[in-house]
Structure 1
Amino acid sequence: MDESGNLWKLWIGFNAMFSAGLIFIGSINLYLSARHFQFLSCRPFIGLLSIATNAFFVWVGYQYMISAFVLSMSAPLLLFVTGFILIAGKPRGSNEK
């Protein structure tokens, strides 16, 4: 920061970067699940990383933000966890596509 920065510019910059990060995470997961599901299902690290990232967002929201943000980030977290459990519990056959 320098002397030209003010609270309003910092607030806009933070929200723009944070929103871009959320959009990126959602877009990558949507693309992988729609176009490359086999790739995604064979690599649990990607799902676990998405869950950990969303859990961090929920924690940050709980600590520093408003309850509406916590609720809005808890929904994707619940969906990521549910999807991960469903994928992890699905048997992997050699003839799946």
Structure 2
Amino acid sequence: MSKRALPLLALLATPASAVSPIAEAICEPTPAMHEKLTGQFGASRTASGIRDPEQVMEVWTDAQGDWTLVVTYAHGTSCIVAMGEHWTPQIPTDPA
């Protein structure tokens, strides 16, 4: 497990009957979430895409390959919805 995931998982401490350590999303005001990801975890936003007019999906990665998937809502809240290790960027190849 990555060093970055341990503090985040500590926030999610639940009874032993929980199925997943990320059964519930971690949500914060967007500026606080961005500060935590950049300042505390050394991550940067490496990809983003519009899900709908109210949501943007963001991928945050760090130099060790840890990744975090964040959904940012138009009302000013961002939520971590998934995280993992070994992020590998894909470079498109020219089909020609």
What is the TM-score of this pair, normalised by structure 2?
0.28
Q: Considering fraction of residues, name the structure with more strand.
A: 2
Q: Considering fraction of residues, name the structure with more helix.
A: 1
Highest CA radius of gyration, 1 or 2? 1
What is the TM-score of this pair, normalised by structure 1?
0.28
